[in-house]
Chain A
Amino acid sequence: GENVEQHPSTLSVQEGDSAVIKCTYSDSASNYFPWYKQELGKRPQLIIDIRSNVGEKKDQRIAVTLNKTAKHFSLHITETQPEDSAVYFCAAYYETGANNLFFGTGTRLTVIP
C-alpha cells in the first residue's frame, strides 16, 4: 500500500515569514494529493489539493507543488498569520482498492506573533 512521510513534525515561524511542509509518497500510481488543516479537537479541513497532471497550484497565500518523478509534494504558506497555527496533514490517494486516503504524520505549525 501507499506510504506517506511528512516532515517536519513541528515548525515554528515568525508572523509574516513563510512555512514549508514536505511530503513524500511511495506509490507512483497515486494521483491526488490533498492538504488538510486540523485545529485541536476539530475535523480536518481541506485547504488545497493537487492532481498528478499539475505541477503547481496556488490559492492566495497557500501553494502546493508536486514532483511526480521524485514522488514528493510540498505545501507553502506565505505571509504567515497566527491563525495559520494548526496541525497540517498531507495525504495521497489512488484509484484502486478501497480508494481511501493515506495520511502523512502531520506537522504542528506555530506562528509566533
Chain B
Amino acid sequence: GAVVSQHPSWVICKSGTSVKIECRSLDFQATTMFWYRQFPKQSLMLMATSNEGSKATYEQGVEKDKFLINHASLTLSTLTVTSAHPEDSSFYICSARSPDRASGYTFGSGTRLTVV
C-alpha cells in the first residue's frame, strides 16, 4: 500500500532557530501533500496544501513566512519552521492522497517539535 515517510519523528530546538521536517511518498507520486498541526488533545488542523512545482496554499491564520513549504519533487515535501518559538511546539503531520482512491489518505508518522 501507499506509504508516507516523515522525519524526524521528534526534534528539540532552541528558540530562534529553524527546523526542517521532511515528508516523502515512498512508493507513489504525490502531486499534493497536506501539512497538519495537532496540539495536545486536539484535532488535526490543516496548515497548508503543498503542490508540486508551485506555491503552497496556506490556511487562514497560518503565517507563510514562518512555515515555509517546498514541494520540489513528486515524492518530497518539506516544512520549515523558521525562527521557532515555544508556542510552535506541536505535533506536525503530513498526508498525501493515495494513488488508489479507494484507500483514501495516507499519513506520515508525525514529528513532535519542542522549542525550548
Contacts and interface: CB of A to CB of B under 8 A. Distances in A.
Interface size class on chain A is 20 to 34
Nearest to A105: B43
Main secondary structure of the interface of A (DSSP, over half): loop
Nearest to B95: A101
Contacts of A41: 91, 110, 112
Contacts of A46: 103-105
Interface size class on chain B is 20 to 34
Nearest to B97: A99
24 contacts: A34-B105, A41-B91, A41-B112, A42-B109, A42-B110, A43-B93, A43-B107, A43-B108, A43-B109, A43-B110, A44-B44, A46-B103, A46-B104, A46-B105, A98-B49, A98-B57, A101-B95, A101-B105, A102-B46, A103-B44, A104-B43, A105-B42, A105-B43, A106-B42
Given A41-B91, A42-B110, A43-B110, A34 B57 contact: no
B34 interface: yes
Interface in B88-115: 91, 93, 95, 97, 103-105, 107-110, 112
Main secondary structure of the interface of B (DSSP, over half): strand
Contacts of B110: 41-43
A100 interface: yes
A103 B43 contact: yes
A32 interface: yes
Interface of A: 32, 34, 41-46, 49, 89, 98-106, 108
Contacts of A32: 104
B31 to A, nearest CB: 10
A108 B43 CA distance: 11
B112 to A, nearest CB: 7
Given A46-B103, A46-B104, A108-B41, 10 more contacts: A32-B104, A34-B104, A41-B91, A44-B93, A44-B107, A45-B107, A99-B32, A100-B46, A101-B95, A102-B46
